[in-house]
Structures are given as C-alpha cells and as structure tokens.
C-alpha cells in the first residue's frame, strides 16, 4: 500500500458517520450509522471488528469491499464482472489514491494490473440530509476491448441484526406494494428488464431489524437512481456476513469499453437511521427537495390539475372540452391537461402515435381555441405526449419502419398496439425534439405529461445489439434538450402509471404519476409505498370518478378527495356528469388543499403504526407549529368501538388547537369526539402519549385533523 494512504478514512454528515477501511486491497465500509463522537476512533472500530478464522474457510475472508473481487476469492456476487474474450476476468485491484474533496466526500482510485482496469469509487454523505451517494466508475486502461457484464454501485455491508427485508412489488394500477421478507442464507434478488423502473420492480429496498417500526429502530434504505434495467441483491453468506448490491442490469454484449473508455454506474442513494421508517423517508424527502428539485420550481405552488382522460378518453370535441374547462375552473382547478386523443388519426390507441400534429377533424383551428378558453378561465394548459412510441398505423412508421427497436428474426411484439422507437439514433432524437419544439413554439403549453405505455422487451438496434443502457441515456438527453429549450415547461414522468419512478428521472421531470388507478382505497397503499422514498409534492394524486373505472368500486367523494388532498392534487372525473352536491364537496376539498398546500408540500411526513385495516399518517411543519393528520378505516374492525390514535412528530411541550377539518359534513350515529373536539387546546404530549379517541366510523371513510399552535 502506498505510504501516502491512510488505513482508515471517515466522512461525516450532520447525524451520520461513514468509516471506510482502506487498509486492504479493496476499500470497504467498516461502519455506516449514527454520527460517532470524538472519543471514538476508527481504530477502535477496526479492533472491535476483529474476526477469527471460521471452520473450513480461508484464514482471512475476502472483504465485502465497495466492489467485491473475484481475484480476492470473494464467494458472493462480484461487484465488477468483466473479461477480454474469456481472459483477464479475475479483478484484484490495489488502491492508488484516496482524495478527500471535503469533510463529507471521498474519491478512491484503484488499479487492477491483471485485468487492466481503473476503478474509481465516489462516496459521500450529504451534510444536511444525511443521504449517502455512491457510484463506481470503470475505465479500460488496456489496449483491447473490455466486455462488461456487471459494474455495480458500491456494495453496502449489512449488520447481522438487520434481518428483515422490505421490498417493493406490484403490477399495473397497483404499484409500490410493500412486501416483507425475513433475511435468509442465500440471495434475495430482484431483477428488472422492462427498460423502465417498471410496476413490479421499483429500484429500492429497505433492510432493517426485527424491532423497527415507523417510529423506532434501525434501518438502511437504498435506492438506485436509474430509469432503465436494474438488479437488487441482498445476500447472506454461510459465515453470517451479508451485503446489499444494486446496479444496472445488462443484456448479453450490451456494454463493452474500448481502450480509455469509461462507464459509471448509476448513483446509489442511501439513508441510515435508528429512528424508524419515517425518519428514513425524511432523509430521502429532504434530499430530493434540496438537490433534485429544479431551481425554477423554488417557491412555486404546484397547481391543482384537471386531466381529461377518465372524463373523455378518445371521444374529444372542442365544445365538451370547453365545458369541462368551465367546470374545472368552478371547482378550483389551476391547470387543464388535455390527455390522449388530440393528434392526427388518434381515435383509439391503435393509430397515430408518432404523428405529433393536431387532429384537424377535432380541432380545425388547432388547439388555440381550447387554450384561449382555458387561459380565460385562469388556468394553465398542459398536454399529454408519448414520444418514445410509434403505432404501426402511423405516417412515421410507414416512412421509417427501421426506426424501431427489434430483435430479428423474432417477430415484433406489439403492446398496446405500439412499438418502441430507437432513441439512440440521432435522426430519431431530432425528429422527436422538432415535433415537441413545434408544439411548444406554436402554443402556450405550460406542462407536458410524458408517458410510456409499454415495456421495452425487444431492445435491439439495427446492428442487432442490445441498447437499453443507451436508450435510457438517450431519453435523458431528449428530456434535457426539451428542458433546455423551454425551461419553464414542467414535465411529468408517467409510464402506464408508476412504471418510471426513480431519482434519476427527477433530474429532468417535476412530477411522477404513481399509478393509473384513481381508486382511493388502492391509492392509500400505493401512496404509502411511494412515500417511502418520494415527498408529497412529486406525487400526482387525482380525485377519480365515484365508480372507479379500473376496480369498479364505488367510493364517496369525501374519501376520494381526502386521499388526493395529500399529494400534487388533481381531478380526473367527468365533471359534466357529476351531481351538484358532489361537485360542491370537491370544490371544498380543492380549497382545503390550497389552504394547506404549503404545509403538505414542505412538511415532514410521519407515518403512524396502525393495524392492517387502518391507514394513518401526518405532515408536520418543520417548526412543529402546525400539522395535518389523516386517519382512514379500510375495513370493519373486530371491535364495535374504536381505539385511540396516538400521533407523533409533535412538540411535546407545545399546546395545539385541534380541529377535524375533513369531511366537510361529519356525521355519527351517536354523540362522539367529533361533537366536542373542534377548537380544543391539547398538548403535544397528550396527543402523542395518550392519544385521540376515534369515533365509530364506516369502512372506507376517513378523517383529517388540523393542529395549530
């Protein structure tokens, strides 16, 4: 080891420390957790971690380094997997340099002479939010092509008592479903090959102890900021050691590096806490707000949306759209979004994708009459687009059938009657940008709903090579080009709902659509899972029709609006068919959202530990002077009377005026707390330790509490 190197390096944030052991060949995390005091030296940790030789094992096990090495005899999944025509595959690197950019960040450069690669690890803690950021860069310093099968983000050792895995699964219209697995000897593996983050394999995982809840306990949260294919691996070896590894997933032959070429893994974002899941989410939320929210959005209130999709589908007419705009303005909408069906030949999902010109049969004078009408009502105008796709029944496909991704001689796979355009081709990029540019030049469009309605499961270019990696980068390039030309246009990431949701896409977009389902009961679980990593202001949440178009379930306006109120609120229902009483209740909910929007979109989320038939959470102001709490009863409880709801996140020594502010019309079969609580002054101590007696409620109903100091 070069003399200039220290054996151990430590980086700090406000509440966390990360200790990196560089005393061996590969840098390894020795400690990541609560900030260590001045009396604790890294050498103490090194000594306390001394392990003896295990039976039937080498005298010294290969380290769980940032990139565990095959050449060092690592028996798990190597962090970097490469070869040169089957040779030079066993990585065994030596640390060349460690550079400290500040108290919180390190850059570690290692060289493997045998495989002729340079490895650069960048790792650090954000000083204010405690979020870990880590990446692995691989450079080919040899004189021949290097085949890359894996180059994962830095590997995270997992303490032995972190024996629970909280992962995420789902499907279309039911994304971000949480599942819990006991850690086991072997590997928990989640792989995604959809060409987007997908509905069933969100690139995030939480590893925690048996005792961890929303309020207490230790946990690591890990998220890969990448919008393409990925894999997650949590592996426990027979010695008891465990590690977490996240990285991009490559198809065969997808990535090779020529001499002096480099590849950098997606950034791994992590958070460590001993204060429960809500604290873990708080780290991610604060990081997004301070680092991933574009500066042009600073201080701008997120407008309440009206989206035309579930009101009209493809059956568009100027007259009905103008009437919808009138009704949307009446209930308080601030942005009117014209969804699918507005462009040439788009009478169904079978035709038109790729031909991004206005349908003259529906809009003979273009979109101006509608936009003028919308703006006259005081609303912004937004537009749905799906640039990455093409219908075979389109002028674009007829002119350029070679512009699609495919895997010949396999037959083309149609999904939703569409194919995927090859964004890696410059002419495709130029065509799509020019189409979008023409729309944004001609019309005052403030918002684009950018959709992707199918997986990319034949990701081959005209040369026959797999290109999902490059397709994802090309998407980022196209989005950056649009934002660069039109910086004030906001963009939503939609992909058949929540199929593209990650920190990578947030560098180019301002909102995520978590699900196509507007069923309020399903939405509570979807939004709970989404909230583990993303804050409320990035979560599109719409009030749908009384009878949900996807589940068929009939849900009251009070519950539909109460669920949507806690996100980036919108409306996606046919207001022209809505009864006046419902419309009036909706307008009240929209006004309530606007009244508390600043708190909802800037406050700290605290989820409450409840039974499986309940859902409850709060948004607490940073100064703890104000809070909103939602409580929903999902199913009938086993007892006739309800229990008490213990709040959290408040100032125990502060007095709060408590009000039940939603539903606007409250009723009960007999006298209850609803009749006596409004306007009462209660201490935070009492609300958190004694709790609030809940009234008898019907399933699928909810209450929203407001606390003001």
DSSP code of residue 61 = P
What phi, psi does 390 have (nearest 5°)? -145, 140
What distance, in Å, lies between the first and last C-alpha atoms of the chain?
Answer: 59
Extract the tokens encoding 594: 């606007």
Query: Pick from 645, 623, 629, 572: which is nearest to 596 by CA?
Result: 629
From 451, 502, 568, 604, active-site residue: 451
DSSP state letters, 87-147: BS-----EEEEEEEEETTEEEEEEEETTTTEEEEEEEEE-TTT--EEEEEEEEE-SSS-EE
Rounded CA separation 292/426 (Å): 28
- 451 is an active site residue: yes
From 516, 519, 522, 568, active-site residue: 516
Say which residues have a Cβ less than 8 Å from residue 52's Cβ, sequence separation at least 6: none
Rounded CA separation 229/253 (Å): 15
Task: Say if residues 132 and 270 touch (Cβ distance below 8 Å).
Answer: yes
Task: Say if residues 160 and 240 touch (Cβ distance below 8 Å).
Answer: yes
Extract the tokens encoding 25: 């060949």
Helix axes 318-331, 368-376, angle to 10 degrees: 20
Report the SS3 class of residue 74. coil
Query: Is the torsion defined by CA of 220, 221, 225, 231 positive or negative?
Result: positive
Omega prior to 663 cis, within 30 of 0: yes
- 395 is an active site residue: no
Element (H, E) at 329: helix 318-331
DSSP state letters, 400-451: -GGGB---TTSPP--BTTBEEB-TTSHHHHHHHHHHHHHHHHHS---EEEE-
What phi, psi does 178 have (nearest 5°)? -85, 135
Rounded CA separation 595/40 (Å): 48
Task: Say if residues 249 and 191 touch (Cβ distance below 8 Å).
Answer: yes
> Which parts of 438-527 are beta strand (E)?
447-450, 490-493, 511-512
In what side-by-side order are the strands of the sheet with 230-236?
Answer: 156-158, 242-248, 230-236, 186-192
Cα–Cα distances (Å) from 446 to 305, 310, 441, 501, 507, in that order, read: 12, 21, 11, 22, 18
Say which residues have a Cβ less than 8 Å from residue 649's Cβ, sequence separation at least 6: 278, 604, 606, 618, 620, 624, 627
Say which residues have a Cβ less than 8 Å from residue 452's Cβ, sequence separation at least 6: 196, 386, 388, 389, 494, 495, 496, 499, 500
Task: Say if residues 302 and 558 touch (Cβ distance below 8 Å).
Answer: no
Catalytic residue annotation: 451, 516
């Amino acid at each position: 080891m070069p003399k200039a190197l220290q054996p151990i390096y430590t980086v700090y944030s406000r509440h966390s420390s990360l200790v990196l052991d560089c005393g061996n060949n590969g840098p390894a995390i020795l400690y990541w957790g609560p900030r260590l005091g001045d009396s604790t030296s890294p050498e103490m940790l090194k000594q306390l971690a001394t392990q003896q030789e295990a039976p039937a094992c080498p005298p010294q096990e290969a380290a769980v380094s940032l990139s565990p090495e095959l050449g060092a005899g690592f028996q798990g999944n190597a962090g970097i997997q490469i070869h040169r025509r089957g040779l030079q595959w066993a990585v065994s690197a030596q640390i060349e340099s460690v550079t400290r950019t500040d108290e919180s960040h390190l850059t570690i450069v290692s060289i493997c002479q045998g495989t002729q690669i340079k490895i650069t690890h960048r790792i650090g803690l954000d000083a204010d939010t405690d979020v870990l950021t880590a990446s692995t860069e691989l450079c080919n310093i040899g004189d021949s092509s290097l085949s890359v099968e894996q180059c994962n983000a830095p590997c995270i050792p997992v303490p032995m008592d972190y024996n629970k895995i909280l992962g995420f699964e789902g499907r279309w219209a039911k994304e971000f479903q949480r599942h819990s697995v006991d850690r086991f000897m072997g590997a928990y593996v989640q792989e995604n090959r959809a060409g987007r983050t997908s509905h069933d394999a969100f690139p995030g995982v939480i590893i925690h102890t048996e005792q961890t809840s929303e309020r207490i306990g230790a946990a690591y949260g890990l998220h890969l900021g990448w919008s393409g294919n990925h894999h997650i691996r949590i592996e426990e070896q027979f010695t008891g050691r465990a590690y977490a590894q996240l990285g991009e997933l490559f198809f065969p032959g997808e990535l090779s590096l020529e001499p002096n070429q480099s590849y950098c893994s997606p950034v791994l974002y992590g958070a460590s806490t001993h204060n429960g899941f809500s604290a873990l989410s708080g780290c991610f939320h604060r990081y997004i707000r301070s680092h991933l929210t574009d500066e042009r959005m600073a201080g701008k209130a997120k407008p309440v949306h009206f989206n035309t999709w579930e009101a009209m589908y493809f059956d568009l007419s100027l007259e009905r759209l103008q009437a919808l705009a009138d009704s949307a303005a009446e209930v308080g909408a601030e942005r009117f979004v014209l969804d699918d069906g507005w462009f040439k030949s788009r009478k169904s999902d079978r035709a038109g994708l790729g031909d991004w010109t206005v349908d003259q049969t529906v809009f003979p004078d273009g979109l101006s009459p509608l936009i003028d009408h919308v703006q006259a009502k005081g609303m912004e105008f937004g537009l749905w687009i799906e640039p990455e796709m093409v219908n075979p029944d389109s002028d674009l496909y007829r002119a350029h059938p070679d512009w699609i991704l495919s895997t010949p001689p396999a037959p083309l796979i149609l999904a939703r009657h569409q194919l995927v355009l090859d964004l890696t081709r410059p002419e495709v990029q130029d065509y799509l940008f020019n189409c979008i540019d023409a729309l944004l030049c001609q019309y005052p469009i403030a918002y684009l709903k950018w959709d992707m309605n199918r997986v990319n499961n034949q990701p081959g270019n005209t040369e026959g090579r797999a290109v999902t990696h490059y397709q994802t980068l090309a998407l980022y390039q196209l989005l950056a080009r649009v934002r660069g030309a039109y910086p004030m246009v906001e963009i939503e990431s939609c992909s058949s709902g929540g199929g593209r949701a990650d920190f990578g896409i947030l560098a180019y977009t301002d909102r995520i659509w978590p699900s196509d389902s507007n069923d309020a009961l399903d939405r509570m679980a979807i939004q709970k899972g989404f909230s583990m990593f993303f804050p409320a202001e990035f979560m599109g949440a719409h009030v749908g029709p009384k009878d949900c178009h996807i589940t068929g379930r009939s849900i009251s306006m009070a519950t539909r609006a109460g669920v949507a109120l806690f996100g980036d609120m919108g409306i996606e229902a046919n207001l022209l068919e809505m009864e006046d009483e419902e419309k009036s209740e909706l307008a009240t909910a929209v006004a309530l959202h606007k009244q508390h929007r600043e708190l909802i979109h800037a406050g700290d989320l605290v989820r409450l530990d409840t039974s499986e038939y309940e859902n409850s959470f709060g948004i607490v102001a940073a100064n703890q002077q104000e809070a909103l709490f939602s409580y929903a009863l999902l199913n009938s409880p086993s007892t006739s009377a309800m229990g008490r709801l213990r709040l959290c996140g408040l100032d125990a020594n502060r007095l709060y005026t408590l009000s039940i502010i939603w539903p606007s019309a409250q009723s009960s079969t007999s006298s209850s707390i609803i009749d006596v609580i409004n306007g009462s002054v209660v201490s935070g101590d009492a609300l958190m330790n004694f709790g609030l007696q809940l009234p008898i409620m019907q399933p699928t109903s909810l209450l929203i509490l407001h606390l003001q100091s």
